[in-house]
Amino acid sequence: MLNFRQFAAGPDPFGRTFQAMFKWLQTAISIRMADMVDVKFILEDENGGRTEKTIALPHADLLRLSRETGRPVDDSWCARLAALHLLHMVKTGEDMEKDLVTVPPAEMRRCADEIAQMERPAAGVR
């Protein structure tokens, strides 16, 4: 997924598919005194039902992952990490009852590896 702004997510364990829309990204220190990057998405199902999910990326884990991968921490990378975790949440049903979800380090690494895999073919074309 190279476009984190609007994408299809699902089906979930109940067969529903959602349209996910990026709403915002901001440092959580400014809104809830947490050293995280928060990424908010709106999910809309086929029947027009809407829910919001905020994916929290711990700053220390982002910095560690950035050092390990050589990838700079920027808004688009953070938004894509969060979007991939949201896709995982929808497909598995994991943490879907929560409005605010903190991504564990191992899951953040999985998402970063997936982004790197997607970027490899694109980088060769340029």
Q: Could you read off the pLDDT of 47-75 as tens digits, one per residue?
A: 999 999 999 999 999 999 999 999 999 99
Q: Could you read off the pLDDT of 11-41 as tens digits, one per residue?
A: 999 999 999 999 999 987 766 777 999 999 9
The total of other beta-carbon atoms located within 10 Å of residue 102's CB is 19
At 73, list the tokens: 């921490």
In this model, does residue 2 exceed pLDDT 80? no
In this model, does residue 109 exceed pLDDT 70? yes
Phi/psi class of residue 48: alpha, beta or left (left: φ > 0; alpha: ψ in -120 to 50)?
left
Q: Quick one: CA dihedral 120, 53, 78, 81, positive or negative? A: negative
> From CA 10, how far away is CA 32, in angstroms rounded?
30
Q: Could you read off the pLDDT of 110-119 as tens digits, one per residue?
A: 999 999 998 8
Question: What pLDDT, on the 0 to 100 scale, is given for residue 3?
Answer: 78
